[in-house]
Structure 1
Amino acid sequence: MKQIVLDTETTGLSPDEGHRIIEIGCVELIARKPTGNRFHVYLNPEREIDQGAIDVHGLDNAFLSDKPRFSEICADFLDFVQGAELVIHNAAFDVGFLNAELKRVRSDSALLESYCSILDTLALARKMHPGQRNSLDALCKRYDIDNRHRDLHGALLDAEILADVYLAMTGGQMLLLLDDGGQGHATAGTNPAAQSNNPSAPANMRRSATFRVIPCEGEELLHHEEKLDAIDRYCGNTSAWRR
């Protein structure tokens, strides 16, 4: 599955007031793994930037004066996100701005949602952590994601941080089921050993399940202990793995 983690920076708070996008940052995930493929561009908004916005992202009109207009990068952007699931924190904000930009340059007035699906990590976080702060900074602290290098907001930097947060939020155990043809199918919350002895299970799974155990050593063990330390700090107790 192709996912694009996306963030934008803008001249102000509302596209209905004529505010524009000045930066787009995207990070590609395939099967929940970063591919290194990115889309990043600064844009000339053709209007003044609110001082409050400059205080947040540090981008001013002088820096953006020689940058392309959205109309010049629109086709490349849509090619990049086509058919993907966009992962966005507070998606209504970014999607509202992107749709406003699309309406300015495309006669068909097709909305972003016609090119890709949208996953709002803010809505997801509110379901997972009701009554708690669910800003990107709060989620970084909750999931032990290092964002100390984030002095100012930046679309690509925030997209990279959000990718780490999203993977941590949704990092439930994935078990690999191998069929008779050797093809892998990742399934959440499934016990292949139990299904292999279940007469109602698919024929390719009604067999003895054998697993190759590869022990960790060296640096892998160190990373494992660091992750358990982070889980212990978050839970305020000793994790089940250590009990």
Structure 2
Amino acid sequence: MRQIVLDTETTGLDANRGHRLIELGCVELLERRVSGSHFHRYLNPDRDIDAGAQAVHGISIEFLVDKPRFADVADEFVAYISGAELIIHNAAFDVGFIDAELARLGPSYGRLRDHATVLDTLAMAREMFPGQRNSLDALCKRLDIDNSHRELHGALLDAEILADVYLALTAGQGALDFALETPDNAQIRVAAQHRPLSERPPLRVHLANEAELAAHEARLAAIDKASKGATVWRRLAGIPL
């Protein structure tokens, strides 16, 4: 499965008021592994940058004067994300800005969701950690991900950090894909399954870490709240709400 972790930086907070993209950063995941492929462009927005936005990302209009405009990279960007699942934190913000840029180029470009599906990690985190702060920085701290090198926001840097956060949030959800096995590996696996138990190596036990335990407890609490009663395994264990 091809996934693209995406982040943007902008001139301000509201695309409907004419604010523009100034940076696009994308990191490719293939089968839940960072592939090394990325898409990164700074963009000339043809307008001023709000002081508040510049304080967040540190990008000045002087730096962007000689950079390409979105129209110059649109075809390359659309080709890069086409058919992928986009992983975005607070997706409504980034999708809104990209859709506004595509709309400026005419109806033939459509909308972002015409080219790729979108997964919002903020919505995912809010479900896993209800009532807690779920910003990218907060998730890094909760999931023990090092973001000490992040002094200012940057689209590519934030996409790289978000890739780590997404993989931590979804740890254990990767399916075994035997279709990707080589014939030799498949033969070894089948042979191992038919060995007597006494000849098989001991099973490796992976204990849940603190972040995974917290995510599990948050999920149980959400199910308890939705079902208005203790989950089945809580009742069987005699654990009250």
What TM-score comes out, normalization by structure 1 length? 0.76
Structure 2 Cα separation of the partners of residues 123 and 117 of structure 1: 15
Q: 1:119 — aligned with what? A: 119
Q: 1:145 — aligned with what? A: 145
1:163 aligned counterpart, secondary structure = helix
Structure 2 Cα separation of the partners of residues 213 and 30 of structure 1: 30
Structure with more helix by fraction: 2
Taking structure 1 as reference, are residues 26 and 61 closer, same or farther at Cα in structure 2, changes over 3 Å only? Answer: same
For the aligned residues, what is the CA RMSD?
3.2
Structure 2 Cα separation of the partners of residues 170 and 178 of structure 1: 20
Q: 2:81 — aligned with what? A: 81
- Tell me which amino acid in the other structure corresponds to 1:15: A
2:38 aligned counterpart, secondary structure = strand
Structure 2 Cα separation of the partners of residues 62 and 99 of structure 1: 25
Q: 2:92 — aligned with what? A: 92
Q: Looking at both structures, which has the greater relative contact order when contacts are Cα pairs under 8 Å and sequence separation is at least 6? A: 2
Contact 1:177 1:184 survives alignment (8 Å) = no
Structure 2 Cα separation of the partners of residues 181 and 233 of structure 1: 34
Q: Structure 1 stretches of 5 or more lacking a match?
A: 186-203, 217-226, 237-243
2:176 aligned counterpart, secondary structure = strand
Structure 1 Cα separation of the partners of residues 161 and 72 of structure 2: 27
Contact 1:178 1:184 survives alignment (8 Å) = no
Q: Deviations over 1:198-243 (max 9, x none)?
A: xxxxxx9xx8488975999xxxxxxxxxx97x9348869xxxxxxx
Q: Report deviation, 1:172.
A: 1.3
Moved over 6 A (4+): 209-212
Q: Report deviation, 1:56.
A: 0.2
- Written as runs of structure 1 = structure 2, the 5 A alignment for 1:104-115 is 104-115=104-115
Q: 1:188 — aligned with what? A: none
1:103 aligned counterpart, secondary structure = helix
1:165 aligned counterpart, secondary structure = helix
What TM-score comes out, normalization by structure 2 length? 0.76
Structure 2 Cα separation of the partners of residues 159 and 213 of structure 1: 40
Q: Report deviation, 1:128.
A: 0.6
Q: 2:59 — aligned with what? A: 59
The reply on whether 1:50 has 2:28 as its aligned counterpart is no
Structure 2 Cα separation of the partners of residues 129 and 53 of structure 1: 28
Contact 1:87 1:120 survives alignment (8 Å) = yes
2:209 aligned counterpart, secondary structure = helix
Q: 1:189 — aligned with what? A: none
Q: Structure 2 stretches of 5 or more lacking a match?
A: 215-241
- Written as runs of structure 1 = structure 2, the 5 A alignment for 1:1-243 is 1-172=1-172, 174=174, 176=176, 178=178, 182=183, 208=194, 213=201, 231-232=209-210
- Tell me which amino acid in the other structure corresponds to 2:141: K
Q: Deviations over 1:28-84 (max 9, x none)?
A: 001000000000000000000000000000001000000000000000000000000
Structure 2 Cα separation of the partners of residues 162 and 148 of structure 1: 14
Q: Deviations over 1:152-197 (max 9, x none)?
A: 0000000000000000000116463648995999xxxxxxxxxxxx
